[in-house]
Structures are given as C-alpha cells and as structure tokens.
Amino acid sequence: MIIRPARLSDAEAMSRILTDIIAVTQRQRPHDQDFVRDTYINNPHGILCSVAEDANGEVLGFQSLIRAAEGNKYGVSAGWGIIGTHVSPRAARRGVGKALFSATKLAAENTGLQNIDATIGVDNTNGLAYYDAIGFQSYRTGDNTICKRFSVF
C-alpha cells in the first residue's frame, strides 16, 4: 500500500469511494468530483489530503486534515485540526485508515497542531471504533454526533 498526497486527478476515484460508502451506509452527503476537489483536495484550510492506493494504483481510501477556521460547521475551536477518513467498503479492515493516519499525524506535528477533531455520526459504529483504535477520545456530543479528540503533543 502506498500513501501519497491526493492529486486533482484522484477526484474521480475519491468520489467513487464516497458513492460506495453512501450505498452501504445510506447516509446522504455530497460526493461529486467538484465537492471532492473543493472540500478535500483544494480546501483553502487544508493541511494534507492523502490517498492510499494498492500496488495496481487503485485508490482504497483517503483522509483529509484541515485547520479549523472560526465559525466552522463542526463548531471546532479555531486552530484545531479537523479530520475526515473515507475508506472504500471493498478495502475495509485492511489497515488503510491506520496507514493514512500515520501520514496525517506527521503533518499535524509538522504544522504544530495541538488537537485534531473527528466528528462522527452516532450510528457510524465503524468510524467510532476506528477513531478509538488510533487514540482519539470522546470529548463532546452534538446533534446525532460524537466528537473525538486526538492530542498531537
């Protein structure tokens, strides 16, 4: 598995992963290529967006880390990191998320982030378990969400 920064040319594969996740979870969210480019790859607050690809170059998942701006939609304190992780259902339980987080954690350290927030739907048991497994701890709840924090330093 190779972890590398996402490129604009990855938008189609990343959009397909979001579509596949929606098919499994039935949670509706934007997922077209423009959304992927604007939200993940070219986010003006972006620190790092990485993809995991297999030996054949197929994108298995991606993870984004942005710096929280004042008034962000998650209510995260300005200056914190906000993480999002999306792994293809076909690549689940293969270490993709853990490998992606290694790169994300290093980027957080290099930019001096103190904390990273993961806001997860209460019904997303896989997401909650993933963030627990990599060291995130619950610190607040929202409307149908659980917010987990990772202390970088």
3-class SS shares of the chain: helix, strand, coil, % to 5: 35, 30, 35
- C-alpha to C-alpha distance for 111 and 55, rounded to whole angstroms: 30
The pLDDT value recorded for residue 93 is: 83
pLDDT, tens digit (0-9, with 9 covering 90-100), for 59-78: 999 999 999 999 999 999 99
Domain ranges of the chain: 2-151
**pLDDT tens digits along 97-117:** 999 999 999 999 999 999 999
Q: To which residue do tokens 């350290």 refer?
A: 109
Torsion, Cα 31 56 84 66, to 10 degrees, reads -100
Architecture of 2-151 per CATH?
Answer: 3-Layer(aba) Sandwich (3.40)
Under the banding of pLDDT at 50, 70 and 90, the label for residue 94 is confident
- Give me the residues paired with residue 33 across strands: none
pLDDT digits (tens, 9 = 90+) for 21-57: 887 766 666 677 899 999 999 999 999 999 999 999 9
pLDDT at 25: 67
